[in-house]
């Protein structure tokens, strides 16, 4: 059992019904935090997560909505503050892929990915920041991707959104550091989630061969780094991008 190092903290994880977001929500609750999450699609997955969160030690709070809509995000943040009595951290994680060869990519496929992955992060951070500024404390962790650092073919839309998140993180971190607010980025490499499950086997083998640790990462291994960034232990760390990729990408 993890130490209760986030006891008393209240926060939001977006896109928590599956994958990395789900692992993050669970990990944070195990460390004593109360977690609210927003999800777009699966009611069943959200319900089962609420059960898991409860079993892990805390009543969760779920909200169905689309982070592409600013008003939805505002409403969600207000709800969390009302029901949980505050807000200490935000983990922006909700993301989608619409992979396609660039010459075949539709403008709608570009837009959907940018709107969800990048504007969605803005919408949530913007909705939470005034609360953080007023209380002179707060913590934001943005989940980016190694794809946003080194690029991945057939992912021009996704890579652009994930690189944008890094710029957002760095600029905001500088702007609000003086107000006791930290903003950091986690850039996972290949992680075992639904997002990578659909990869063809030969492609998976090729990627695995390129990873120095010789395997895909687990969502829990990303969640552990998010928990560290939300912890007071990392108090002097802000505006950074931490790659969690088994050594895949080592230059900067």
Partner 1 sequence: MPDKMQEEILDIVSMVVEKEKKQIPLDAHLIQEVGADSMMALEILAALEKKYRIVIPEEKLKEMTTVNRIIAMAKAARKK
**Residues at the interface with partner 1 (CB under 8 A):** 130, 133-134
Distances, alpha carbon 77 to alpha carbons 40, 56, 110, 234, 239, in Å: 16, 23, 27, 25, 23
Shortest approach of partner 1 to residue 99 CB, angstroms? Answer: 38
Shortest approach of partner 1 to residue 132 CB, angstroms? Answer: 11
Shortest approach of partner 1 to residue 180 CB, angstroms? Answer: 13
Burial of 250 (0-12, 13-18, 19+ CB in 10 A): exposed
DSSP string computed for 199-239: S-HHHHHHHHHHSTTSSPBPHHHHHHHHHHHHSGGGTT--S
Contacts of 3 (CB under 8 A, 6+ apart): 31
Shortest approach of partner 1 to residue 88 CB, angstroms? Answer: 17
Q: Look at the chain and count its residues.
A: 252
Ranges of beta strands (E only) in the chain are 10-14, 34-39, 61-64, 89-92, 138-143, 181-188, 241-244
Question: How many C-beta neighbours within 10 Å does residue 66 have?
Answer: 16
Identity of the residue, 82 or 201, whose beta carbon is nearer to partner 1 in the bound complex: 82
Identity of the residue, 50 or 133, whose beta carbon is nearer to partner 1 in the bound complex: 133
Q: Which residue in 158, 179, 190, 236 is the catalytic one?
A: 158
Structure tokens at 206: 């090729």
Q: Is position 190 annotated as part of the catalytic site?
A: no
d(CA 127, CA 132): 10
Contact 69, 130 (CB under 8 A): no
Structure tokens at 74: 């505002």
Shortest approach of partner 1 to residue 127 CB, angstroms? Answer: 10
Burial of 103 (0-12, 13-18, 19+ CB in 10 A): exposed
Identity of the residue, 135 or 240, whose beta carbon is nearer to partner 1 in the bound complex: 135
Identity of the residue, 130 or 210, whose beta carbon is nearer to partner 1 in the bound complex: 130
Identity of the residue, 83 or 130, whose beta carbon is nearer to partner 1 in the bound complex: 130
Instruction: Point out the residues that are catalytic.
Output: 158
């Amino acid at each position: 059992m993890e130490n209760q190092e986030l006891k008393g903290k209240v926060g939001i994880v977006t896109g928590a019904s599956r994958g990395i977001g789900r692992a993050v929500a669970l990990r944070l609750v195990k460390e004593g935090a109360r977690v609210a999450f927003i999800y777009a699609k699966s009611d069943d997955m959200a319900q089962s997560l609420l059960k898991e969160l409860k079993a892990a030690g805390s009543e969760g709070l779920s909200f169905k909505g689309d982070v592409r809509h600013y008003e939805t995000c505002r409403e969600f943040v207000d709800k969390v503050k009302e029901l949980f009595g505050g807000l200490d951290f935000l983990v922006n994680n909700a993301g989608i892929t619409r992979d396609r060869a660039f010459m075949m990519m539709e403008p709608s496929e570009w837009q959907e990915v940018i709107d969800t992955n990048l504007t969605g992060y803005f919408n949530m951070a913007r909705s939470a920041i005034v609360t953080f500024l007023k209380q002179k404390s707060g913590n934001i962790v943005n989940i980016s991707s190694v794809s946003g650092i080194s690029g991945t073919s057939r992912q021009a839309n996704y890579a652009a959104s994930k690189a944008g998140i890094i710029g957002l993180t760095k600029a905001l971190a500088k702007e609000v550091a003086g107000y006791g607010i930290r903003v950091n980025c986690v850039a996972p490499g290949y992680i075992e989630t639904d997002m990578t499950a659909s990869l063809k086997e030969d492609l998976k083998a090729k990627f695995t061969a390129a990873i120095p640790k010789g395997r895909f990462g687990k969502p829990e291994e990303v969640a552990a780094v998010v928990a560290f960034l939300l912890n007071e232990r990392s108090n002097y760390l802000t505006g950074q991008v931490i790659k969690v990729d088994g050594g895949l990408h080592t230059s900067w």
